[in-house]
């Protein structure tokens, strides 16, 4: 089975093999702390930051909740930019912790406008925290983070970004673009197994966190401040095996070189999109320039049951792709070409399987034209 | 290096090897849900319960916080039984979530008295939730869970038990003893890698949880109720690789047979204690019958720097043992003979290394007598 879903992705054997290492005791073995520091340094290089890094034992969504819990005062207004399922999720977190979401909202097939963000911040005047999802995985879109970061920095707003499906696949400059809290998952573009959440925290974010003094232990970033950053001790027994895997995944990425990694993602994503168009299918994002290079969301054509498509694809062709979530469920199917999945060979296998499967289902497939379009991008460009 | 610490323990290669399996997509692959159900069934057999099982992505301490967050109403009195560092930790959690701890407290070298618990519950009259740590790992003690469970059941109190360092090493009967929420970690007696917390939840506990309607997402047990138990969908992308490892660890334990596993722990623990006494050292628990069969806590003799002892033991003899935490730090060193560590060969290596190391440090070691005492237990009894 080829797992071509937008996270978890397939995991390289080299990364899985790293978990064969006999686990160190992370609480007592000083050499483990050194190893962990080395991992954080690799993550800094990938995320392009000199800020503090926290890798927590738990899935990436924990990072979103931890950021809101740690930053947002009850009754405090928070600018929640939303263009999809996870942007809406941030709103739920803000409400859960007593914050007051001020929404900048666009349709799920659209991206957030930096001008609109600037206007909203100007209009409100007293907003200090904003949330954004960089790649809205369920929609296949990529928000203009660089421009939004600039606006937030100009307005002196602490910017929290869910970059779970973008860091390691497309350029993200945490410090350069003014991202104060950047949240990443192990199982997306880094192609390590799921179970670790990564966060970068800027000085500005720490100041707000210390002012807020949020409640609780496990999700509270102050816990990390008091334990790891002050005393060099983890707040709990860390997930050593997963950290070995993540470290290996980061090494592979840095060995390949970030620019090469991004080029690979660009190429594979463009090939996927050219195939979609040549097949007579429709990309879900309303403009192609909104598409993320890490995931391609395709509108399920009228009359075609996308769940049935995915079932057949899996059973007959051994390829697993994804549907979508929330109000996009049943309307969109998605190809996850991020991280270790962003490889021409894998993409071609998936596209051919999809072409044949659509033919089986009597969709008027233009298999030859579509496969040629993809091949042209992969082997006859750049 | 032999890691002889009370969790994380050494992990069998068979368990590490299970993580070489290419991760399934836990959100989309139906066969993963089946696998997970199978794992939960194994955990039910180990924990001796027919209640619901949650395995969450995060360390075991998350389970303690999740239980308090999900069960305790602000302003509600909670009976917090404490005989050590983690019992005290429960008090902090209760306070953090607005509960009012009613303490039944004994010294760290003592165990909680069921009669005292009964009196406290009778005196207060309106307590509905109680917390207990079964094995206080930092003290090396085991609280009388069966008797305390009976008292709580008679008083209709929801009993939350940290059994992190006991389940899988000593008998725990979750249903039979009236434990409503039982919290276990992957890295203790189960000897899987750290990163997963396990909880069993009784019907009675669910009723209180639903009445409470706690806040938040990741730690809130209602999230699991709404997603996994209602819809069969995980609330987040689960830690597939660690779950493969935990499943293998549970299989190994069940193949050996719980009774055999407990006998192995009893034997190794008794050998460790006989060695301690024959060496002229002192067990930390005030009575030997209070000692847990999963960890042995030894008082650092006057004039001997236990940190120095552990450093030498590690550097010269390649054996890592543990100190202790909180107010026991520097006063106690500990041997973690739980799970995969509870093996005669490993224990003998550790005890011999300790004997020689104590000699190096001019402690009047009775190496021959002490090693003989341990060997007698291991090979000449039962």
Q: What are phi and psi of B59, to 5 degrees?
A: -75, 165
Query: ipTM of this complex > 0.95?
Result: yes
CB within 8 Å: A57 and B59: yes
Does B12 reach chain A within 8 Å, measured CB to CB? no
In this prediction, residue B382 carries a pLDDT of 59
Could you give the CA distance from residue A291 to residue A286 in angstroms, rounded to a whole number? Answer: 9
Grouping H, G, I as helix, E, B as strand and the rest as coil, residue A348 is helix
CB within 8 Å: A19 and B96: no
CB within 8 Å: A216 and B5: no
Chain segment B49-66, per-residue pLDDT in tens: 999 999 999 999 999 999
Chain segment A224-276, per-residue pLDDT in tens: 999 999 999 999 999 999 999 999 999 999 999 999 999 999 999 999 999 99
Task: Provide the residue ranges of all domains of chain A, joining segments of one domain with +.
Answer: 13-255, 258-380
Whether a cis peptide bond, with omega within 30° of 0, leads into B8 is: yes
Does A19 reach chain B within 8 Å, measured CB to CB? yes
Could you give the CA distance from residue B377 to residue B356 in angstroms, rounded to a whole number? Answer: 20
Could you give the CA distance from residue B275 to residue B64 in angstroms, rounded to a whole number? Answer: 34
Give how far A335 is from chain B: nearest CA, Å: 13
CB within 8 Å: B241 and A19: yes
Chain segment B168-191, per-residue pLDDT in tens: 999 999 999 999 999 999 999 999
Closest by CA position to B65, among listed B94, B85, B98: B94
User: A31: burial class by Cβ within 10 Å (0-12, 13-18, 19+)?
Assistant: exposed
In this prediction, residue A382 carries a pLDDT of 59
Write the DSSP string, B64-132. HHHHHHHHPPTT-EEEEEESSHHHHHHHHHHHHTT-EEEEEE--TTS---HHHHHHHHHHH----EEEE
Chain segment B70-116, per-residue pLDDT in tens: 999 999 999 999 999 999 999 999 999 999 999 999 999 999 999 99
Could you give the CA distance from residue B187 to residue B306 in angstroms, rounded to a whole number? Answer: 25
Does A5 reach chain B within 8 Å, measured CB to CB? yes
Chain segment A164-220, per-residue pLDDT in tens: 999 999 999 999 999 999 999 999 999 999 999 999 999 999 999 999 999 999 999
Could you give the CA distance from residue B335 to residue B314 in angstroms, rounded to a whole number? Answer: 13
Mark out the alpha helices in A109-162 (DSSP H runs).
Answer: 114-124, 145-154
Does B165 reach chain A within 8 Å, measured CB to CB? no
Between β-strands B282-283 and B196-201, what pairing exists: parallel, antiparallel or unpaired?
Answer: unpaired
In this prediction, residue B365 carries a pLDDT of 85
**Best residue of A6, A8, A66, A214 to probe chain B, by most B CBs closer than 10 Å:** A8
CB B14 within 8 A of CB B252: yes
User: B376: burial class by Cβ within 10 Å (0-12, 13-18, 19+)?
Assistant: middle
Could you give the CA distance from residue B311 to residue B318 in angstroms, rounded to a whole number? Answer: 10
CB within 8 Å: B16 and A13: no
> Which one of B185, B193, B240 has the shortest CB-CB distance to A194?
B240
Sign of CA dihedral A18, A22, A23, A24: negative
Does B195 reach chain A within 8 Å, measured CB to CB? yes
Could you give the CA distance from residue A331 to residue A343 in angstroms, rounded to a whole number? Answer: 26
pLDDT at A34 over 70: yes
pLDDT band at residue A380 using 50, 70 and 90 as cut-offs: confident
Write the DSSP string, A359-381. HHTT----HHHHHHHHHHHHHH-
With contacts defined as CB-CB under 8 Å, which chain B residues touch A218?
Answer: 58, 61-62, 65, 219
CB within 8 Å: A239 and B59: yes
The CATH number of the domain covering residues in B13-255:
3.40.640.10
Closest by CA position to B258, among listed B199, B174, B315, B195: B174
pLDDT at B381 over 80: no
Mean pLDDT over B245-274 rounds to 98
Give how far A6 is from chain B: nearest CA, Å: 10
User: Going by CATH, does the domain composed of A258-380 fall within 3.90.1150.10?
Assistant: yes
With contacts defined as CB-CB under 8 Å, which chain B residues touch A240?
Answer: 8, 193-195
pLDDT band at residue A326 using 50, 70 and 90 as cut-offs: confident
pLDDT band at residue A88 using 50, 70 and 90 as cut-offs: very high
Between the alpha carbon of residue B84 and those of residues B1, B90, B91, the distances in Å are: 29, 10, 11
Structure tokens at A357: 């499967």
* Range of lowest pLDDT (A35-39, A63-67, A118-122, B365-369): B365-369
Cite the beta strand spans of A186-245 per DSSP E. 196-201
pLDDT band at residue A381 using 50, 70 and 90 as cut-offs: confident
> Which one of A17, A57, A187 has the shortest CB-CB distance to B20?
A17
pLDDT at A363 over 70: yes
Nearest-by-CA chain B residue for A12: B22
């Amino acid at each position: 089975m080829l797992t071509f879903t937008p996270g978890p992705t397939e995991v390289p054997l080299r990364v899985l093999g790293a978990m064969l290492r006999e686990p160190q005791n992370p609480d007592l073995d000083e050499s483990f702390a050194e190893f962990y520091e080395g991992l954080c340094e690799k993550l800094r290089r990938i995320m392009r930051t000199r800020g503090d890094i926290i890798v927590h034992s738990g899935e990436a969504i924990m990072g979103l909740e931890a950021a809101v819990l740690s930053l947002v005062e009850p009754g405090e207004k928070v600018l929640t930019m939303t263009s999809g399922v996870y942007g809406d999720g941030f709103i739920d977190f803000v409400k859960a912790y007593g914050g007051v979401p001020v929404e900048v909202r666009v349709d799920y097939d659209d991206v957030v406008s930096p001008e609109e963000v600037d206007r909203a911040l100007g209009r409100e005047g007293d907003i200090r925290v904003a949330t954004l999802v960089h790649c809205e995985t369920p929609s296949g879109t990529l928000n203009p983070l660089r421009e939004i970061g600039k606006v937030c920095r100009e307005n002196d707003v602490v910017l929290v970004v869910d970059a779970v499906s973008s860091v390691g696949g497309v350029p993200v400059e945490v410090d350069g673009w003014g991202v104060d809290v950047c949240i990443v998952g192990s199982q997306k573009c880094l192609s390590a197994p799921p179970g670790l959440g990564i966060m970068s925290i800027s000085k500005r974010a720490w100041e707000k966190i210390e002012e807020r003094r949020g409640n609780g232990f496990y999700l509270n970033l102050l816990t990390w401040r008091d334990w790891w950053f002050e005393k060099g001790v983890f707040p709990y027994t860390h997930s050593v095996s997963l950290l070995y895997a993540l470290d290996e995944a980061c090494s592979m990425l840095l060995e390949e070189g970030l620019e090469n990694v991004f080029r690979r993602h660009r190429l594979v994503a463009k090939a996927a999109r050219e195939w979609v168009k040549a097949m007579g299918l429709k990309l879900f994002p309303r403009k192609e320039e909104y598409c993320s290079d890490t995931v391609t969301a395709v509108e399920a054509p009228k009359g075609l049951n996308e769940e049935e498509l995915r079932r057949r694809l899996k059973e007959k062709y051994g390829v697993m792709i994804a549907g979508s979530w929330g109000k996009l469920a049943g309307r969109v199917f998605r190809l996850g070409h991020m991280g270790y999945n962003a490889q021409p060979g894998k993409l071609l296998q998936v596209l051919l399987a999809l072409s044949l499967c659509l033919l089986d289902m009597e969709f008027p497939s233009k298999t030859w034209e579509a496969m040629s379009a993809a091949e042209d991008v992969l082997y006859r460009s750049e």
